[in-house]
């Protein structure tokens, strides 16, 4: 009987784990292998617009591996500058997210228990409303005859409207704005667990609050900082919507370049190479995130 | 616990204002009569004319209906797959393929959407050439893509809920001779029910809102609501989008408040049951 139960249990377990495993292999892992393969292929004016992977020479299959797409990425300065610009935008936005999000998470974690739930809800609520529409809202605020310029002019602070839309500033604002909850939640999950006794001990020993913060709270919150920063930085590198709606037109981010190569130029192999190179840039942050980040998010209900 | 100083609290106020100011501004200007969106036409406002225009716009209504159908199916599919994943990761200990499953369900959380979108479209095209399925891109491929990235979110939510409860309840039921299926139905499932609800709602929102991945895997004939909005706002601000945003914010806020109250009620009821059970034991 027990043996029976055990085997049933085993079979059930295999099924429970097997279904998502097969699904994700088919729809997540396999597609990346296809992108990888296609990035070594050559563009062709046909449907589909790329050369087959296997060339038949004397009746024998030869894999057709072309490095020309990658070579092209490194020769045309457009791509290098788009990669570097994307990394810069993501890094600066992550830093501002952290500078704004850390004190916010800290204040929530130290708020009385009854108010914490409500404050967290306030942070998360905008996340539930459309990302696209929230980015769009900034057009109305930032544009030349927009709300911010109108208010500043009527207050007499400025006499000429400021150019804010289609600048780096607008992209930073848009990314910080839309990713802020992703920074706050892991930080809050970390800060909430801190032991107040340590800080009290530090205070009893004569440490000033700021010193105690630097020596005790900050080092303990490093895992939260790492998780939050990765959760903002990685998707921000490939961000498409924010730079398309708010960003510069003379300097594209790499997500936009990928999309244009695919949809406008219909160069699928080159678009695949752009994607693979972006993945290579992000592979270390992604592995770091899987090691540390998920535990941080997971600890938050 | 000591309260925080003035600086974090000020930053919290600044941050919350920063989060809500654009939404409030959008809502206010949805009642503005002027087409110039950001110039308040005091003589003829507030007005509901953009709401009227919105309700007469067949393109937007059709796209919204498509988006709702996709989100309903994708959220339900992701809830099933994500629950299986969460249960496997939280309860099964080490098994073959665990590391792979962890990797494949955490990577979508941060993967830039352009990459996922491109990869999925190339998969669908390759499949179509190899086995003739799926036939072209459209609602089906959008649903498959949405289920895939939503599953990762549900898995995290379910897993963290299960990790919060120890396994002793399930073990006790197994020791008492309950079948694994019964244990899952009678114990594990009720435990994770709140996580299932939040996972489903989260997936619905993500699917309803997704633009980038959808743009890749949608065929020429199927435009979801975000795709229609994006093509409209790319050309500049348009007042009926403000009206649409206002309606969506109100809907979401109502939904969140209702589900929070429901969960609070459920928690209170469970606490009461526990207290009653404890009292009965004495």
CA-CA-CA-CA torsion sign (B244, B250, B256, B259): negative
Q: Name the residue in chain B with its Cα closest to that of A20.
A: B81
Inter-chain CB proximity B164 and A108 less than 8 Å: no
Compute the 3-state secondary structure of chain A and give helix, strand, coil in percent, each to the nearest 5.
75, 5, 20
B129-150 residue pLDDT tens? 888 888 888 899 999 999 999 9
> What is the CATH code of the structural domain delimited by A71-298?
1.10.3720.10
**Closest Cβ opposite residue A129 in set B37, B125, B248:** B248
Mean pLDDT (chain A, rounded): 87
**Average pLDDT for B214-233:** 91
Q: Is A133 on the interface with B (CB under 8 A)?
A: yes
Residues 6+ apart with CB under 8 A from B112: A234, A235, A237, A238, A239, A255, A278, A282
B220-253 residues labelled b (16+ CB within 10 A) or e (exposed): eebbbbbbbbbebbeeebbbbbbbbbbbbbeebe
Length of chain A: 301
Q: Is A177 on the interface with B (CB under 8 A)?
A: yes
Tally C-beta pairs within 8 A across A and B: 281
Q: For the residues of B32-72, what is the DSSP string, one character each?
A: ---TTSSS--TTT-S--HHHHHHHT-HHHHHHHHHHHHHHH
Interface of B with A in 190-209 (CB under 8 A): 205, 208-209
Question: Per DSSP, what are the bridge partners of residue B62?
Answer: none
Interface of B with A in 40-79 (CB under 8 A): none
Topology (CATH level 3) of domain B47-235: MetI-like fold (1.10.3720)
B38-82 residue pLDDT tens? 677 777 778 888 899 888 899 999 999 999 999 999 999 999 999
- Which residue bears the tokens 């491929």? B141
CA-CA-CA-CA torsion sign (B269, B275, B279, B281): positive
Confidence of residue A225 (pLDDT cuts 50, 70, 90): very high
Q: Name the residue in chain B with its Cα closest to that of A295.
A: B160
* Set of chain A residues whose Cβ sits within 8 Å of the Cβ of B79: none
A146-182 residue pLDDT tens? 889 988 998 988 888 999 999 999 999 999 999 999 9
CA distance B232 to B214: 16
Residues 6+ apart with CB under 8 A from A202: A211, A212, A215, A216
Interface of B with A in 85-144 (CB under 8 A): 85, 87-88, 92, 95, 97-98, 100-116, 118-120, 122-123, 125-126, 129, 144
Contact of B108 with B152, CB cutoff 8 Å: yes
* Set of chain A residues whose Cβ sits within 8 Å of the Cβ of B151: 20, 23-24
* Set of chain A residues whose Cβ sits within 8 Å of the Cβ of B115: 35, 238, 258, 275, 278-279
B136-186 residue pLDDT tens? 888 999 999 999 999 999 999 998 888 877 778 888 888 888 887 888 888
Inter-chain CB proximity A112 and B3 less than 8 Å: yes
Domain residue ranges in chain B: 47-235
CA distances from B18 to A20, A123, A134, A171 (A): 39, 11, 12, 15
Contact of B35 with B218, CB cutoff 8 Å: no
CA distance A137 to B25: 8
**Closest Cβ opposite residue B180 in set A8, A48, A123:** A8
A63-84 residues labelled b (16+ CB within 10 A) or e (exposed): eeeeeebbeebeeeeebeebbe
CA distance B204 to A87: 31
Tokens for B15? Answer: 């941050």
Q: Check pLDDT > 50 for residue A2.
A: no
Inter-chain CB proximity A244 and B118 less than 8 Å: no
Inter-chain CB proximity B84 and A17 less than 8 Å: yes
Interface of A with B in 144-163 (CB under 8 A): 145-147, 150
Q: Is B220 on the interface with A (CB under 8 A)?
A: no
| Opening angle at CA B245, ends B244 and B247, nearest 5 | 65
Q: What is the ipTM of this complex?
A: 0.88
Q: Check pLDDT > 70 for residue A94.
A: yes
């Amino acid at each position: 009987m027990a043996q029976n139960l055990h085997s049933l249990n085993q079979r059930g377990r295999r099924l429970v784990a097997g279904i998502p495993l097969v699904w994700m292999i088919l729809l997540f892992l396999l597609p990346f292998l296809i992108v990888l393969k296609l990035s070594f292929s050559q563009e062709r004016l046909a449907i589909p617009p790329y050369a087959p992977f296997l060339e038949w020479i004397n009746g024998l299959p030869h894999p057709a591996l072309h490095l020309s797409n990658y070579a092209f990425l490194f020769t045309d300065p457009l791509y290098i500058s788009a990669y570097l610009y994307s990394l810069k935008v993501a890094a600066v936005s992550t830093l501002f997210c952290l500078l704004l999000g850390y004190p916010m998470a800290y204040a929530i974690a130290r708020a009385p228990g009854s108010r914490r739930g409500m404050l967290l809800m306030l942070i998360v609520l905008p996340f539930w409303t459309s990302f696209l529409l929230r980015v769009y809202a900034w057009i109305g605020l930032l544009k030349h005859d927009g709300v911010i310029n109108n208010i500043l002019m009527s207050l007499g602070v400025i006499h000429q409207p400021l150019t804010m839309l289609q600048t780096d500033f607008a992209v930073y604002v848009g990314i910080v704005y839309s990713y802020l909850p992703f920074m706050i939640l892991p930080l809050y999950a970390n800060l909430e667990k801190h032991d107040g006794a340590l800080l009290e001990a530090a205070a009893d020993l004569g440490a000033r609050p700021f010193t105690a913060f630097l020596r005790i709270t900050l080092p303990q919150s490093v895992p939260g900082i790492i998780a939050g920063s990765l959760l903002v930085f990685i998707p921000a590198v490939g961000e498409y919507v924010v730079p398309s709606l708010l960003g510069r037109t003379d300097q594209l981010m790499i997500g936009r370049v990928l999309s244009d190569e695919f949809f406008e130029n219909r160069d699928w192999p080159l678009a695949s190479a752009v994607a693979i190179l972006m993945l290579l840039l992000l592979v270390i942050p992604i592995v770091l995130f899987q090691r540390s980040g998920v535990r941080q998010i997971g600890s938050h209900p | 616990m000591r309260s925080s100083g003035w600086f974090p609290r000020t930053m919290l106020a600044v941050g919350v204002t920063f989060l809500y100011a654009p939404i409030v501004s959008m809502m206010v200007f949805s009642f503005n009569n002027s087409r110039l969106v950001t110039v308040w036409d005091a003589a003829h406002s507030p007005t509901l004319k953009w709401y009227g225009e919105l309700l007469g716009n067949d393109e937007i209504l059709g796209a919204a209906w498509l988006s709702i159908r996709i989100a309903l199916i994708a959220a339900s599919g992701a809830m099933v797959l994500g629950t299986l994943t969460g249960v496997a990761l939280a309860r099964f200990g080490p098994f073959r393929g665990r590391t792979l499953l962890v990797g494949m369900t955490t990577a979508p959380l941060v993967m830039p959407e352009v990459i996922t979108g491109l990869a999925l479209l190339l998969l669908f095209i390759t499949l179509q050439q190899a086995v003739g399925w799926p036939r072209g891109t459209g609602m089906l491929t959008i649903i498959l893509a949405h289920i895939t990235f939503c599953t990762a979110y549900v898995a995290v939510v379910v897993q963290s809920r299960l990790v919060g409860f120890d396994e002793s309840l399930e073990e006790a039921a197994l020791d008492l001779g309950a079948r694994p299926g019964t244990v899952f139905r009678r114990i594990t499932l009720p435990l994770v029910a709140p996580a299932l609800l939040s996972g489903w709602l989260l997936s619905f929102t993500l699917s309803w809102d997704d633009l980038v991945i959808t743009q890749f895997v949608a065929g020429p004939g199927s435009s979801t609501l975000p795709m229609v909005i994006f093509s409209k706002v790319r050309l500049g601000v348009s007042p009926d989008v403000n009206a649409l945003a206002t309606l969506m914010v109100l809907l979401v806020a109502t939904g969140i408040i209702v589900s929070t109250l429901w969960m609070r009620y459920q928690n209170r009821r469970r606490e009461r049951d526990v207290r009653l059970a404890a009292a009965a034991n004495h």
